[in-house]
Copies of this chain bind each other. A is one copy, B any other.
Amino acid sequence: MSNINLSEIKVIKIDIIFKGGLMERNSLMKSVEKDWEKFLLIPISEKLQYFSRDGRIYDCLFAQQLDRDILTHLFKVADVLRKITKNKEGMRFANGLMSHKRSMLYFVQPSTRTFLSFLNACHILGIKTGEIRDTSISSELKGETPEDSVRTFSSYVDLIIMRHPLPNFVEKSAWLMNKTKRPVPIINGGSGKDQHPTQALLDIYTLYRSFNGEIDGKTIAMVGDLKRGRTVRSLSYLMKNYRNMKLIYISPKEFAMEKDILDFLKRHNISYYETDNFEEGIREADAIYMTRIQDEHDKNGESNKVDISAFCLNGNHLNKIKKDSIIMHPLPRRQEISVEVDDDPRAMYWRQERNGMWVRAALISYIFGCDEDILKYK
């Protein structure tokens, strides 16, 4: 279900409209709208419309919402935004864009990067921010349901950005909001194990910037815990938006990429191969996407049973990889990338963080329809 292709979605949508017109589709939606359990089961492709307004993403919940057109648009907005904010005057223009808006960051799972980059993305656009990061200081202690808490947040702000440990909880919040008379957009900053669409967004933005907009035809090596890493899953998934991509999955066998993604790649004729030979795998890559072992998902200490030392990038590898390649990592890292690699011009992970802030600012501006103001500036 998570492997639905956006091009298929359009077919489904047209099909429904053809069958019974927009009214019928809406009443179809309305019947499931009322029951969250039913809503959860319908394909993501059909849900997307429920989280859109006027042909624009309203709630950003799934990587599936990001097709090539939207990606390219957001990258352009981000590029322009960071350019015009290089001087004081431009930054003040940006700060004024949404200074009449207020947002709420509800992050009840540990996060540094996602939290800070959203916070500062809001600040760049002038959005005032409030935050709850610790449920021990909120009313959940008094027996409030998370759903009521989210609805409460929405009473005070124009935008909710959230990370939550419960699977599908961010989606449920957006579903719930959209049933009310006063919904506010919700952006998913990480929900359960699978969904983290803005991470995928910043990863592809990093490819886009590093390759001067030319992602088509590139070879991307993904290394580490491919089985449980949501970033490599989303990134693989979004590769369908680009042509002639070649993926190299490098991991210990225990952490190989899951079959659902491999099937997906086959269906979309995306070429890939798997290997447990790190040095060989990274040699031809245009981008080497390193990841850490996701031991927080261990059930029986699986991580300790696997030797990952052969899947770490250090100074010795730097003359074995392509000269114009880039090294990425969603961070935080542990030993997967030695500190000595940081000074190499191909080390892109710190810029990748910064790209996250800018492309998130672009996303927010797009949701609120002031992306065009940015593009038109000066």
| Residues of A that sit less than 8 Å from B by CB | 85, 88, 91-92, 95, 99-100, 102, 104, 107, 110-113, 116-117, 119-120, 123-124, 128, 130, 132-134, 136-144, 147-149, 151-153, 155-157, 179-180, 182, 292, 296, 331-334, 339, 343, 350, 353-354, 357
B128 touches A350 (CB 8 A): no
Q: Which residues does chain B contribute within 8 Å of A134, judged by CB atoms?
A: 134, 137
| Alpha-carbon distance A304/B143, docked complex (angstroms) | 15
- Per DSSP, chain A at the interface is helix
Q: Which residues does chain B contribute within 8 Å of A339, judged by CB atoms?
A: 147
Contact status of A354 and B144, CB under 8 A, knowing A120-B130, A138-B111: no
Contact status of A354 and B137, CB under 8 A, knowing A102-B120, A104-B116: no
| Alpha-carbon distance A148/B112, docked complex (angstroms) | 11
| Alpha-carbon distance A92/B130, docked complex (angstroms) | 18
| Alpha-carbon distance A144/B107, docked complex (angstroms) | 19
Q: Which residues does chain B contribute within 8 Å of A331, judged by CB atoms?
A: 139, 144, 148, 152
Copies of this subunit: 3
- Report the minimal beta-carbon distance from A149 to chain B, rounded to whole angstroms: 6
Q: Which residues does chain B contribute within 8 Å of A120, judged by CB atoms?
A: 102, 128, 130, 156-157
- Best-surrounded residue of A95, A102, A155, A343 (most CB of chain B within 10 A): A155
- Report the minimal beta-carbon distance from A3 to chain B, rounded to whole angstroms: 28
| Alpha-carbon distance A353/B116, docked complex (angstroms) | 28
| Alpha-carbon distance A119/B133, docked complex (angstroms) | 15
Q: Which residues does chain B contribute within 8 Å of A179, judged by CB atoms?
A: 343
* 25 A/B residue pairs, CB under 8 Å, sorted by A: A85-B100, A88-B100, A95-B100, A102-B123, A110-B136, A110-B142, A111-B138, A112-B132, A112-B149, A116-B130, A116-B152, A117-B155, A119-B156, A120-B156, A120-B157, A123-B128, A134-B134, A139-B332, A144-B332, A144-B333, A147-B339, A148-B331, A155-B357, A179-B343, A182-B354
Q: Which residues does chain B contribute within 8 Å of A123, judged by CB atoms?
A: 102, 128, 130
A139 touches B111 (CB 8 A): yes
Q: Which residues does chain B contribute within 8 Å of A138, judged by CB atoms?
A: 110-112
- Report the minimal beta-carbon distance from A78 to chain B, rounded to whole angstroms: 14
